[in-house]
Amino acid sequence: MRAGRKRAAPRPEVRAERGATESWFRPRSCSFHAAAIWATSLPPLSLGSVSPSLPPPLPMDRDTRAFAEQHFRDLGGQLYGGGGQAPSGVAFIKEPATFSYADFVKAFLLPNRPCVFSSAFTENWGSRRRWVTPEGKPDFEYLLQKYGDVVVPVANCGVQEYNSNPKEHMPLREYISYWLEYVQGGCSSPRGCLYLKDWHLCRDSSAEDLGDVFTLPVYFSSDWLNEFWDALDVDDYRFVYAGPPGTWSPFHADIFRSFSWSANICGRKKWLFFPPGQEEALRDCHGSLPYDVTSPKLLDTRLHPMLQHSSPPLEVTQEAGEVVFVPSGWHHQVHNLVRWA
Ligand SMILES: O=C(O)CCC(=O)C(=O)O
Ligand SMILES: [Fe+2]
């Protein structure tokens, strides 16, 4: 792509999102009202024309490749993209037209830094038109008619099982009726706080149907993890999440320390990011990583003797239509926010 073209990398805006250093340690509030739907770690998605075993050529030009090789030579074994405190703000990329694949590689992929792409990058996606009402709420009617009978995985955010949540399966129809009841009940339900997680919509849809949902941004088109599964035609690492206020994902780093990306179709999310290595200070006296980095339990110095060496996370708010790039090995925790009118 655009071989040999030289252009100064644009200077992305920096969004300062994190509050005062001492205030990040708030206990988790249950009063958030949110819904968020996202897809991650997307493919060299060929939408019908290319066989899954033949990914399209990479968009990497010669100069960018040479730059990347030099970058790794210069790294000389340093901790990849980490080793230091989280930056105080996240870079925000506004304009698709002036931000190339090479710009992304140089400014974010190689340095292993997070960034947020504006909603302009997803404005033509079918999901943004069809899954959301003109008022910006999830279009349950459309989702029911299109996917109501699909059986989806649902985690109970209120129950800790190791550092995760137990899961059950139910038709999307049942999950949506739970969601409406939960919101009507003041964001509480005897069934707990249920979060639709890891729905393999891409794996289980035709290429034609998927073309109606999203278009793969060029920045994420080199995707070895999904290329592996696509070649076998067995599974994938592309997921949809959806949930009401209070739903959240416990502290983790992504599978095999992969890079990932997450587009928010509707609602608002809060991300807490720790650069690689920074999670070490959060370990408890048994060496385990926390389940919830906002829990007051972390303030117990006998339980978390290294906490005084921890630094606050990078806090990122993701609005509807925006895409978050999650660099390799950055631990994170994610909360769905926003109150529907
Ligand atoms: O949205 C969420 O709840 C989790 C997202 C996440 O962990 C990711 O995209 O890596
Ligand atoms: Fe993640």
pLDDT above 60 for 62? yes
pLDDT digits (tens, 9 = 90+) for 118-150: 999 999 999 999 999 999 999 999 999 999 999
Number of helices (H), then strands (E), belonging to the chain: the values are: 7, 14
| Distance, CA of 315 to CA of 295 (rounded, Å) | 16
pLDDT of residue 28: 23
Percent of the chain scored above 90 by pLDDT?
63
Q: Are 316 and 273 in contact (CB under 8 A)?
A: yes
273 lines ligand 1 (CB under 6 A): no
How many C-beta neighbours within 10 Å does residue 165 have?
A: 23
pLDDT digits (tens, 9 = 90+) for 182-201: 999 999 999 999 999 999 99
Q: Which CATH number fits domain 31-41+86-337: 3.40.50.300, 3.30.2040.10, 2.60.120.650, 1.10.10.10?
A: 2.60.120.650
Ligand 1 atom closest to residue 243's alpha carbon, by position in its atom list: 3
102 lines ligand 1 (CB under 6 A): no
Percent of the chain scored above 70 by pLDDT?
80
3-state secondary structure of 205: coil
Would you list the DSSP string of 39-82?
A: EES-----TTTS-TTSPPPP---HHHHHHHHHHHHHHTT--TT-
162, with CB counted inside 10 A (0-12, 13-18, 19+), is exposed
pLDDT of residue 15: 64
CA of 253 to the centre of ligand 2 (A): 6
155, with CB counted inside 10 A (0-12, 13-18, 19+), is buried
pLDDT of residue 36: 41
User: Looking at 33-42, 97-106, 207-216, 254-263, which range is the least confident one?
Assistant: 33-42
Output the pTM of the full model: 0.84
pLDDT above 90 for 19? no
pLDDT of residue 60: 86
- Of residues 44 and 204, more confidence is placed in 204
pLDDT of residue 222: 86
